[in-house]
Amino acid sequence: MAILLTILFLPLAGAFLLMLVNKKEAKVIQYTALAISLATFVISFSLMAHFDSNNPNFQFIVNIEWIKQFDAGFRIGVDGMSLLLVMLTAFIAPITILSSFSAIEKRQKEYYVMILILQFAMTGVFISLDIFLFYIFWEIILIPMYFIIGIWGGKDRLYATVKFFIFTVVGSLFMLVAIVWLGSYVGGTVLHNDAGFTTNFMVIQHALDNQPIPLDIQKWIFLAFALSFCIKVPLFPFHTWLPDAHTEAPTPGSVVLAAVLLKMGTYGLIRFNLDLFPQASFYYAPIISTLAVVGIVYGALVAMVQTDMKRLVAYSSVSHLGFVVLGIFSMTVEGIQGGIIQMVNHGLSTGMLFLLVGMIYERRHTRDIAEFGGIARVMPAFTVFFSIAMFASVGLPGLNGFVGEFLTLFGAFNSPFLNNWSYTIVATSGVIFAAVYLLWMFQRVMFGANTNPQNHALKDISKREWALLVPMVVFIVWIGVYPSTFMKVSENSTKALVNKLYEKKFGYKPYALPASTQQKANIKN
């Protein structure tokens, strides 16, 4: 439908528009980019308003023929899970652009073009209902991100950006082989359609539901998809690109990387791995959950010893995303719902932490914790915002992080698929470690004596920075206090997925869902 197409293509149109503007008109470029992303955000509300959360299926479906020979179409649509992430993308984009006004000083035109292309591709990843289209968006993201880190990044940006590029490509090309195999299997072996091939997600979903891939092959296909997603998440031990990319990226680049890009991995795990390869998911769930738990603890421990604030936040991402993956592979409604809400939470709280670190970096041109101390006296408002983001990240009840972490841990604890308490017990330690490294950093930076003369005259946050931080705080508190606004959106889609998983494993469906015939009708066209 038109709303979804607008949300997808408006940023791309904006990017083309910006290309026509003279590069010397920096202000015009900045405000045009901001206006476009704000417009996209506003339009995305009407998506929320028209979304029927009782319906677990895909909605707003657009199906345009594209490449007939491979039955690849321009197929897009959203269900509860992807809607939240589309909203998150639309929300983060204007924040990113507004924060770029001060963070990006050179080659502004190219920069804003890249950011808008990035927004286009990120939205595309979350709404693709065709695996080929999904792959295209997935790969397009590499190009702007490669340039954003490489041109506007820090000292070691070349190393970081090449590493980011190669890591992602390694995963995604194996996924491409799996996509080709899957298309050929479903189109040729299962359905015998005209093309002998298909990448239509809903058709594949339906076909594999009735006739799953033989387990020995399914395991390989699962691994190919999982590798790509786990590198993106990043799951331990594939995380090594992340601290480098985060540290070297410019502030807005880190924000968008943490807030949205990493979610593409976890989203892919739910959308493709759990849904299309349930038997292999049961088989690999203990391994992946173990890696997730290791990542939680490892990320937290490494974060504890960092001297660079940005690197600390980057490692905390490794830890937090571990909770998401653990929740997803618990394959319970609580776990997956928690995982989804935790994706949003992490986008908000870690995104905000990166913004705050970026603000202090702009003032002092260093992120070394040892350089600071007693900042609270000179920057009181900054300190308040920092504490909110930090407590959200730690998981203080009343703020958003608590909801997500609690649900993922609860889901993992109760999961009949994992059937083991130890995951939860070890993962819970991650919450404690998070409190340690974040509070310790906070204490060293904000409190104590303000001994460094360079810190005496730091300016507190400006109006523009208020405008960046306040919306994030609103959502952080909103999700913390009344999460069901957001949980409700994805609830039925999650239940439908969990029903499917239970049915495959235990032969019964635990949740009753509102009856719907829409999905079947859509498969036909």
Partner 1 sequence: MGIELQYLLPIITISFFVVTAIVFDALLQNKIFSFVWSIIGLIVVIGTASYTFVIPSLELMNLSKEGLITKNMVFFGGYASFFDIVFAGAGLMTILASRVYIKREYKELNEYYSLILITVSGMMLIGHSNNLLILFIGIEIMSISFYVLAGYFRNSIKSIEASLKYFLLGSFATGFLVYGIALLYGATGSLDLNIITSNLIAGKFNHIYFLLGSGLILIGLSFKVAAFPFHQWAPDVYQGSPTVASGFMSSAGKAAAMIAFIIVFKHILPAVNNPVLIKDTHLIQNIIAVLAACTMLLGNFTALAQTNVKRMLAYSSVAHAGYLLIGIASNNSTGWTGVLFYSVAYILMQLGAFIVLSVIERNEQSNLELSDFAGLSRSHPILAALMAVFMLSLAGIPPFAGFFGKYYLFVSAVKADYVWLTIVAVISSIISMYYYIGIILQMYFKDPRSVALEADYGLARIPLFIAVAGLVIFGVFPSLLADVAYYFF
Binding site for partner 1 (CB under 8 A): 66-70, 132, 135-136, 139-140, 142-143, 146-147, 150-151, 157-158, 161-162, 165-166, 169-170, 173-174, 176-177, 180-181, 183-184, 188, 196-197
Closest CA to 446 of 363, 369, 331: 369
Give the nearer residue to partner 1 in terms of CB position, either 19 or 425.
Answer: 19
Give the nearer residue to partner 1 in terms of CB position, either 219 or 377.
Answer: 219
Give the nearer residue to partner 1 in terms of CB position, either 132 or 284.
Answer: 132
Min separation Cβ 67 and partner 1, Å = 5
Give the nearer residue to partner 1 in terms of CB position, either 82 or 161.
Answer: 161
**Residue 125 is encoded by which pair of tokens?**
């990843």
Give the nearer residue to partner 1 in terms of CB position, either 69 or 525.
Answer: 69
CA 348/CA 479 separation, integer angstroms:
10
The burial of 482, by beta-carbon neighbours within 10 Å (0-12 exposed, 13-18 middle, 19 or more buried), is given as exposed
Give the nearer residue to partner 1 in terms of CB position, either 196 or 448.
Answer: 196
Torsion 458-463-468-474 (CA) sign: positive
Min separation Cβ 238 and partner 1, Å = 15
The burial of 68, by beta-carbon neighbours within 10 Å (0-12 exposed, 13-18 middle, 19 or more buried), is given as exposed
DSSP for 180-221 reads HHHHHIIIIIIS--TTS---BHHHHHHHHHHSPPPHHHHHHH
Contact 67, 474 (CB under 8 A): no
Min separation Cβ 4 and partner 1, Å = 19
Min separation Cβ 264 and partner 1, Å = 15
Identify each DSSP E strand in 276-422 by its residue range. Answer: none
Min separation Cβ 517 and partner 1, Å = 32
CA 462/CA 186 separation, integer angstroms:
56
CA 251/CA 229 separation, integer angstroms:
24
Distances (CA, A) of 210 to 11, 175, 215, 500: 39, 23, 14, 11
Min separation Cβ 406 and partner 1, Å = 40
Min separation Cβ 174 and partner 1, Å = 6
Min separation Cβ 392 and partner 1, Å = 35
Give the nearer residue to partner 1 in terms of CB position, either 190 or 435.
Answer: 190
Give the H or E element holding residue 454.
none
Ramachandran assignment for 196, one of left (phi > 0), alpha (psi -120 to 50 degrees), beta (any other) = left
| Amino acid in the structure at residue 79 | D
CA 422/CA 477 separation, integer angstroms:
31
- CB atoms inside a 10 Å sphere around CB 508: 8
CA 53/CA 514 separation, integer angstroms:
10
CA 223/CA 245 separation, integer angstroms:
25
Min separation Cβ 201 and partner 1, Å = 17
CA 435/CA 386 separation, integer angstroms:
14
- Work out the angle between the directed axes of helices 400-414 and 422-446 (0-180°, nearest 10): 160
Give the nearer residue to partner 1 in terms of CB position, either 183 or 265.
Answer: 183
Count of all residues that appear for the chain in the document: 525
Min separation Cβ 185 and partner 1, Å = 9
CA 273/CA 224 separation, integer angstroms:
10
Give the nearer residue to partner 1 in terms of CB position, either 177 or 474.
Answer: 177
Min separation Cβ 279 and partner 1, Å = 20
Give the nearer residue to partner 1 in terms of CB position, either 182 or 285.
Answer: 182
Contact 131, 183 (CB under 8 A): yes
CA 137/CA 123 separation, integer angstroms:
9
Min separation Cβ 76 and partner 1, Å = 16
Give the nearer residue to partner 1 in terms of CB position, either 51 or 164.
Answer: 164
Give the nearer residue to partner 1 in terms of CB position, either 170 or 304.
Answer: 170
